[in-house]
Amino acid sequence: KKGLLLTPVVHVRGLCEAVVEADLIDALEKFGPICYVMMMPFKRQALVEFSTVESADRCVSCGAKEPVYIAGQQAYFNYSTSKRITRPTNADNPNSGNKVLLLSIQNPLYPITTDVLYTVCNPIGSVLRIVIFKRNGIQAMVEFESVQCAQKAKAALNGADIYAGCCTLKIEYARPTRLNVIKNDNESWDYTKPYLVRRDRGKGRQRQAILGEHPSSYSENGYGPPCPLLPLPGNSRYKLTSVDAPDMVSYPLPQSSSSYSGHAPSSVAMVSGLHPSKMNCTRIFNLFCLYGNIEKVKFMKSVPGTALVEMGDEYAVDRAITHLNSIKVFGKRLNVCVSKQHAVIPSQVFELEDGSSSYKDFAMTRNNRFSSAGQASKNIIQPPSAVLHYYNVPPCISQEHLLRTISGLLEFDSKTEAVEVLTVLNHYQIRIPSKSPVPANRKLN
C-alpha cells in the first residue's frame, strides 16, 4: 500500500438499481462505524464515510479478497480521493433547522406528481411545498412544516416503494431551507397559497384521499395492467405506526404538467454519446421503443453524436432516462436527459455516416408498442439486462439455438452485448418462403 492515499471514504460501485442507504449500512457496518453515506442512485454508485481509516481499509481489503454483496448483488470498492463526504446544509445536525427533504425516485415506472408525493408525505408530517424536477432522473424537494416532521418523514419513508417493486424513495436533507413556488401544478405546489393554481385548467385540483386505486392502464399511454399496492412490510425498518400513516398510498390521476423555474417537462429526450457510424434513427427507435411510443428521431448536425427523440408523452421520456441513461452501446456511454424542446422539427436533414437520413418519422409505424391500452398492457417495463426475450421468429430459422421456435430467451455474457443485439436486430425483417403463412416482419424484443 506504499504511495496509496488511505482515506476513511470508500467509493462503492456495481450497486443494483433498487439499493438504498440502509442496504449499504446493513452490509458494511461490520467493517466499522459509518458516519455518512452519499448515494449516486442514477450511477448505481455510492460514497461511504467510515469513522476511521482502518474501517475503510478493512472494507476495501475484504472486498478485494472475497465478494461482498449489497442487496443481493456483488459490489466493488476502492478508496475515494476525498477525505470527507461533503454534506448538504444541516445534514450532520438536522436539529439546526433544515425542514426540506430531497427525494430521489428510483425506477419510476409510474408518473410522479405533486399529488402523489403529497399523498405519501403529508400523513407523516404537514407538507408546505413540493417541487419536482427532472434532469438525469426524477427528484423532488418537499418542505415540511417543521424539522421534526422532516425527520419523521425521512425515517419512515427512506428506502420504501411508492408502488410495488418500483418508485423507490431515496431521501436526504436538502441544501435549501425553504422552497420558492411560483405556481401550483403537477410539478410544483405551495399548499399555503391555493390561489397560485392556474385559472385556465378548468376544474380545480383533484386531490384524492390516502386510500384509493393503483394506476390502471392510464388511458392509452400504456403503463400496463394494475398491480397491487405495496403495503409497508410489517417487519421492515420502513413500517409506520397506524398513527403515522395508513398501510397503503393512493395514486391520484395525473393532470397535464406545466413548467417550473423555466424547466418544463417535455416529451422530447436528448441522447448524446451515440456512436457516429453504428447508430442511426432506426436503431435509436429499436432501443427506445421499449419505454414508450416514438414519434420522431432527429440527429443534431451542430452536435455530433447527439439526437432528439420525440416520444408519446413526458412519462415515456422519464422511463427512457431511468433505464437507458449511462448504459454502454458500441463502446460509448449514453447520456439521456429531458430536452428543452417540446417537439422535433425536421430541419437541417443530412446524411449519417452509414448513408441513412438524420431524420425519421415513426408516428405511423406498426412497431410502436404503446398505441392502445391493449398493446400497452402487454409491455413489461424492464431495465436493460443480459437476457433478451425474442418472439415472432419463423420455424424455418436454422440456427441451433432458435431451431423450431417462434419465441424464447437469449442470454448473453453481458448486458452491453444484449443491448447492442437488441439495438441492431429489434424489428429485423426475416425473409421466408412466400408459401408460408407467417408474416415476414419479425420482432426480437
- What range does the domain containing 74 cover? 9-79
User: Can you give the pLDDT at residue 200?
Assistant: 39
d(CA 48, CA 80): 9
The residue from 79, 108, 140 where one domain ends is 79
Residues 355 and 388 in one domain: no
* Residue 202, in any domain of the structure: no
Is the model's pLDDT at 10 over the cut of 50? yes
Q: What is the phi/psi pair of residue 155, to 5°?
A: -65, -35
Residues 48 and 123 in one domain: no
Rounded to an integer, the average pLDDT of 321-336 is 91
Residues 273 and 353 in one domain: yes
User: Can you give the pLDDT at residue 425?
Assistant: 84
Name residue, grid cell 416529451: 267
**257-280 pLDDT, tens digit each:** 333 333 457 889 999 999 999 999
CA dist 224 to 72, 227, 252, 334, 375, Å?
27, 9, 16, 26, 9
d(CA 295, CA 290): 13
Most confident of the ranges 39-43, 53-57, 385-389: 53-57
Residues 287 and 321 in one domain: yes
Residues 404 and 361 in one domain: no
Confidence of residue 306 (pLDDT cuts 50, 70, 90): very high
d(CA 280, CA 302): 16
* Residue 132, in any domain of the structure: yes
Contact between residue 319 and residue 337 where contact means Cβ atoms under 8 Å apart: no
Q: Percentage of the chain with pLDDT > 90?
A: 30
Rounded to an integer, the average pLDDT of 310-321 is 88
The x, y and z cell numbers of residue 434, run together, are 412466400
Residues 41 and 116 in one domain: no
Confidence of residue 75 (pLDDT cuts 50, 70, 90): very high
The residue from 368, 396, 430 where one domain ends is 368
* Residue 31, in any domain of the structure: yes
User: Can you give the pLDDT at residue 186?
Assistant: 85
What CATH number is given to the structural domain containing 147? 3.30.70.330
Residues 128 and 49 in one domain: no
Is the model's pLDDT at 364 over the cut of 50? yes
Is the model's pLDDT at 19 over the cut of 50? yes
Is the model's pLDDT at 441 over the cut of 80? no
Confidence of residue 184 (pLDDT cuts 50, 70, 90): confident
User: Can you give the pLDDT at residue 431?
Assistant: 67
Residues 312 and 393 in one domain: no
User: Can you give the pLDDT at residue 405?
Assistant: 56
Residues 179 and 111 in one domain: yes
* Residue 386, in any domain of the structure: yes
d(CA 274, CA 307): 8
Residue type, 63: G
Lowest mean pLDDT among 24-28, 220-224, 264-268, 319-323: 220-224
d(CA 326, CA 217): 29
**Does 202 or 68 have the greater pLDDT score?**
68
* Residue 21, in any domain of the structure: yes
Is the model's pLDDT at 28 over the cut of 50? yes
* Residue 397, in any domain of the structure: yes
* Residue 284, in any domain of the structure: yes
Residues 355 and 406 in one domain: no
Tally of structural domains, the chain:
4
Q: What is the phi/psi pair of residue 440, to 5°?
A: -80, -20
The x, y and z cell numbers of residue 1, run together, are 500500500
Residues 275 and 363 in one domain: yes
The residue from 368, 396, 416 where one domain ends is 368
CA dist 126 to 186, 290, 397, Å?
19, 39, 62
Confidence of residue 296 (pLDDT cuts 50, 70, 90): very high
Rounded mean pLDDT of the chain? Answer: 76
Contact between residue 56 and residue 8 where contact means Cβ atoms under 8 Å apart: yes
Most confident of the ranges 113-127, 201-215, 404-418: 113-127
**81-114 pLDDT, tens digit each:** 888 887 665 454 545 558 999 998 887 878 888 9
Nearest residue to 317 via CA among 351, 341, 333, 299: 341
**388-400 pLDDT, tens digit each:** 887 776 666 555 5
**Does 184 or 282 have the greater pLDDT score?**
282
Is the model's pLDDT at 201 over the cut of 50? no
**141-157 pLDDT, tens digit each:** 999 999 889 988 988 88
Contact between residue 34 and residue 28 where contact means Cβ atoms under 8 Å apart: yes
* Residue 115, in any domain of the structure: yes
Q: Percentage of the chain with pLDDT > 70?
A: 73
User: Can you give the pLDDT at residue 318?
Assistant: 85
User: Can you give the pLDDT at residue 109?
Assistant: 77
Is the model's pLDDT at 401 over the cut of 90? no
Residues 430 and 390 in one domain: yes
